[in-house]
Amino acid sequence: MSVAKISLPKSVNRGESVAVRVAIQHPMETGYRVDNKGKLILKNTVREMNCLYNGALVFSAEMGSGIAANPYLLFYLVAKDSGLIQLNWVDDAGVKGTASALLTVV
Amino acid sequence: MVSFIFIMFGLGWGVSSFLICIADEGPKRAKRPQPPRSGIEFVSPEIRAFQEDDFSSPAMLWATRGEHLWQETAGPRGESCQSCHHDAAQSMKGVSARYPKIDEPSGALLNVEARINRCRTEKQKAAAFAYDSESLLALTAYVGLQSRGMEMKVTIDEKNKARFESGQRLFSTRIGQMNLACTNCHDDNYGRKLLNDTISQGHINAYPAYRIEWQDFGSLHRRLRACFYGVRAQLPTAGSDELLDLELFLAWRSQGLPVETPGVRR
């Protein structure tokens, strides 16, 4: 089980651009490291993440071993209506995670 | 004032020198840096900014995980931490500021990790968590978070005096191929550079903490083991009596600093 979270401003004006911050608890194993016994540790990174705003895709990213552990991302979207921002991610092992937050547009 | 007697023993070529601290009754004569300065003062502004913003702090991910675990049931009676302790904000407030502590009646010295595992095995009747497991780290972070900003304040008394003195001795005993004691770095040389690091006073008010070097969240004992490794000494096991004694002494040394758990370090 891992934790993911989204941070949004308390409320925004219609048409304003909104900073969306996302954090995912994930080791982002590069595939280049070895364990104490010299055995290669399998690559396991968040492969893909996307963000839906009231069901519509507004942001997506493909990640790999160049991204540090526990990735933190910041992106912007334009506020239209109040509603749900939903984050989905999946890693190389097939583990999936989600997080969501409500955007209030005034 | 603090009085120290340095006694050097030359033992053939594999010279080992001991720094023996003659302290009388209890902690009164033990030395600690005055005023104490948190490790956060010795890190870069970028790392500091990480710790100061709960959202960008990777350490907070573990505390959030701990908050979920607090409510998860385990064991035959299906109890969670919450079933007995209810709201952690109240029941766990101040706990991390006053640990490690002697448990009555067993007499064992318990840090927060060990205390949580006691509850796991004796109260919940569930299997203990491994020392540096994600679950134990997460719960320790969550319990620690409830004391954030409170002053570190461990009490040294008749019950824990022997353990305290053992920790104090360990802190000033030279060890490893480098033949260095903790005090040589964390009392004598704080503020100076060691490779890429600035040596701090070696306080424990941020632990468990996220270390950029680890790309991971880890326990105080993992950090201490890294210092043993640094001087090429034998590594004590996480959770061992030796590290608990050190932890008690270090908690006393950190007295007055605000709890930063879950902290961020280089």
Choose among B56, B64, B215: nearest Cβ to A3. B64
Chain B partners within 8 Å of A5 (Cβ): 55, 61, 64
Q: Is a pLDDT exceeding 90 seen at residue B3?
A: no
pLDDT of B101 higher than 80: yes
**Per CATH, which fold does B60-145 belong to?**
Cytochrome Bc1 Complex; Chain D, domain 2 (1.10.760)
B83 has pLDDT over 90: yes
pLDDT of residue B1: 35
Cβ-based contacts of A68 with chain B (< 8 Å): 215
A 23-62 residues with CB < 8 A to B: 23, 25, 27-28
Confidence bin at A42 (pLDDT 50/70/90): very high
Give per-residue burial for B241-266: e unless 16+ CB within 10 Å, then b: ebbbbbbbbbbbbbbebbbbbbbbbb
* Mean pLDDT calculated for residue range B84-100: 98
* Identity of the amino acid at B243: L
Residue B195's CB is within 10 A of a number of other CB atoms, namely 5
Mean pLDDT of A17-23: 96
Contacts of B245 (CB under 8 A, 6+ apart): B109, B163, B164, B166, B167, B170
So what's the pLDDT on residue A2?
Answer: 81
Question: Is 50 exceeded by the pLDDT of residue B6?
Answer: no
In whole angstroms, give the CA distance from residue A31 to residue A35: 11
Optimal mutation site among B47, B51, B57, B61, interface A, most CBs of chain A within 10 A: B61
Instruction: Please state the three-class secondary structure of A55-86 as a single string.
Output: CEEEEEEECCCCCCCCCEEEEEEECCCCEEEE
Considering only CB atoms, which chain A residues are within 8 Å of B58? Answer: 23, 25, 69-70, 72
Note whether B65 contacts A: Cβ–Cβ < 8 A: yes
HSE at residue A23, side-chain half, CA atoms within 13 A, is 19
CATH class of segment(s) A3-103? mainly beta
* pLDDT tens by residue, B199-252: 999 999 999 999 999 999 999 999 999 999 999 999 999 999 999 999 999 999
CB-nearest to A25 from B55, B56, B61 is B61
pLDDT exceeds 60 at position B23: no
pLDDT band at B105 (very low <50, low <70, confident <90, very high): confident
A 10 A CB-CB count for A24 gives 25
Is residue B257 within 8 Å of B151, Cβ to Cβ? yes
Min Cα–Cα distance to chain B from A5, Å: 8
Question: What mean pLDDT do residues A47-57 have?
Answer: 96
Same fold, B34-53+156-265 and B60-145: yes
Q: From CA B24, how far away is CA B54, in angstroms rounded?
A: 43
Mutating which of A70, A72, A87 best tests the B interface, going by the most B Cβ atoms within 10 A? A70
Q: Is the CB of residue B185 less than 8 Å from the CB of residue B28?
A: no
Q: What is the pLDDT of residue A36?
A: 86
Q: Which CATH number fits domain B34-53+156-265: 3.40.50.1100, 3.10.20.30, 1.10.760.10, 3.30.390.10?
A: 1.10.760.10
Residue B22: pLDDT over 50:
no
Interacting residues of A18 by C-beta distance below 8 A, sequence separation 6+: A8, A9, A12, A76, A77, A78, A79, A103
**Residue B30 — pLDDT band, cuts 50, 70, 90?**
confident
Token representation of residue B6: 């340095």
Q: How confident is the model at residue B27 (pLDDT cuts 50, 70, 90)?
A: low
Angle between helices B220-230 and B241-253 (to 10 degrees): 100
Is B55 within 8 Å of chain A by CB? yes
Separation CA B223–CA B207 (nearest Å): 9
Q: Report the C-alpha gap between B158 and B105 in whole angstroms.
A: 15
Pairing mode, if any, of strands B101-102 and B109-110? antiparallel
B259 in helix, strand or coil?
A: coil
- For residue A25, the distance in angstroms to the closest alpha carbon of chain B comes to 6
Task: Indicate if the pLDDT at residue A31 is higher than 90.
Answer: yes
Helix (H, G, I), strand (E, B) or coil at B15: coil
pLDDT at B15: 34
pLDDT at residue number A1: 65
Region B179-207: what's the mean pLDDT? 96
Does A2 contact B65 at a Cβ distance shorter than 8 Å?
yes
Residue A2: count other Cβ atoms within 10 Å of its Cβ. 16
End-to-end CA distance of chain B: 34
Task: Tell me if chain A has a CB within 8 Å of the CB of B58.
Answer: yes
Q: Which of B62, B133, B261 lies closest to A23, judged by CA?
A: B62
Position A70 scores a pLDDT of 95
Yes or no: say if B124 and B74 are a contact pair by the CB < 8 Å rule: yes
| CA B159/CA B164 separation, integer angstroms | 10
Q: How many Å lie between the alpha carbon of A3 and the closest alpha carbon of chain B? A: 6
Show which residues of B are catalytic: 227
Mean pLDDT of chain B: 91
Separation of alpha carbons B238 and B129, rounded Å: 13
- The number of C-beta contacts closer than 8 angstroms across A and B is 35
**B9: how many CB neighbours lie within 10 A of its CB?**
9
Give the distance from residue B244's alpha carbon to the nearest chain A alpha carbon, in angstroms: 25
Give the domain ranges of chain A. 3-103
Q: Is the pLDDT of residue B48 over 90?
A: yes
Lowest pLDDT segment from A25-39, A69-83, B12-26, B122-136:
B12-26
pLDDT-derived band at B28, boundaries 50, 70, 90: low
Q: Is B228 on the interface with A (CB under 8 A)?
A: no
Chain mean position to CA A55: 16
Domain ranges of chain B: 34-53+156-265, 60-145
Biggest alpha carbon–alpha carbon distance for chain A:
57
Asked if residue B169 has pLDDT above 80, the reply is: yes
